[in-house]
A and B are shown apart, each in its own frame.
Chain A
Amino acid sequence: MKQTDQQTEAAFREQCRRQMQRPLALRIKYGFNRVYKPVLDDVPWRSFDSMAEYREWCEKNLPEYLGYRRAK
């Protein structure tokens, strides 16, 4: 059965309320994970003089599916 937008929103808000009630340690446990990201994870560190320079680097170098490119 397909949910309406309102039902989806209500379900998400309920999920928010449950998560806020959980102890901080559980929020961290389930909130942080690590999956290898190509290019992004392939050097030990990188730095940029400006956020604009960083965004430009993301546009040029990261695969689109990672979502780091600017929204059109």
Chain B
Amino acid sequence: MNQRPVFRPVQAEEIAGAFDEEGVEYLFIGKSGAILLGYPGTTQDVDIFPDRSPENGRRIIAALRKIGFEIGVELERDITRGKDFVQIKTGPFDVDLVFAPDGITSFVEAKARGLTEGVFHVANLRDIIASKRASGRQKDQIELPLLESFRAEYEKHHASPLRSAGDIAAKKSRSK
């Protein structure tokens, strides 16, 4: 498994294109989402937050096969079921399907706050940060201050302030 081809930039566009062609409901999350928005970091895989439904699962499978992923019967079953976390390394690059990301409760709400960068649908930075904070992993804790600095710069250069589900809930509770 350690002799793997180099990631080519066009592959990121291929996955977004295949998802759009198949009508997949999804958002890029994690560091890969932040990088698409301009975060000056690096990552090794593509993190996708898909809407969880059997139909969306079937669309994901069709899209991934289209761009060269091998999806066997068992993997197909787990994607269609929408298991919380599915990690796939059978294609031209690594994809993590995160159906239940830490710190984000609703795909529909996250999608409503999401951003579009070129052909990519990306979760808003506040959701990406909330998710990383909730994960509690060592590598995310190290990255959080940098992501917060990037968010501050991003929001200076983009019109409306981004709000995470947590921000919205906190505002609602303050106004009661």
Interface residues of A (CB under 8 A from B): 9, 12-13, 15-20, 22, 24-25, 27-37, 41-51, 53-55, 58, 64, 66-71
B40 contact set on A, CB distance < 8 A: 12, 15-16, 18-19
**Inter-subunit contact B89/A28 (CB<8 Å):** no
- Are A20 and B38 touching (Cβ within 8 A)? yes
Shortest CB-to-CB span from B132 to chain A, Å, is 11
Interface of B is mostly: mixed
Chain B: minimal CB distance from A29 (Å): 5
Distance from A72 Cβ to chain B, minimum over Cβ atoms (Å): 8
Q: Which residues of chain A are within 8 angstroms of B13 by Cβ–Cβ distance?
A: 28
Within 117-154 of B, Cβ neighbours of A (below 8 Å) are at 117-118, 120, 135-142, 146, 149-150, 152-154
Q: Which of A15, A24, A43, A51 contacts B117 (CB 8 A)?
A: A24
**Do B138 and A47 touch across chains, with their CB atoms under 8 A apart?**
no
**Chain B: number of interface residues, binned into ranges:** 35 or more
Asked if residues A28 and B36 are in contact (CB atoms below 8 Å), the reply is: yes
Any chain A CB within 8 A of the CB of B159? Answer: no
Determine if B153 and A20 form an interchain contact, defined as CB atoms under 8 angstroms apart: yes
* Known A12-B146, A70-B137, A71-B138: A31·B43 in contact at CB below 8 Å: yes
Q: A28-B35, A32-B35, A47-B75 are in contact. List 6 more A-B contacts (CB 8 A).
A: A33-B42, A41-B1, A45-B90, A51-B98, A51-B102, A67-B139
Q: A48 to B83, Cβ gap below 8 A?
A: yes
Complex alpha-carbon distance, A68 and B136, angstroms? 9
B6, B41, B75, B138 interface centre (most CB from chain A within 10 Å): B138
Complex alpha-carbon distance, A68 and B152, angstroms: 26
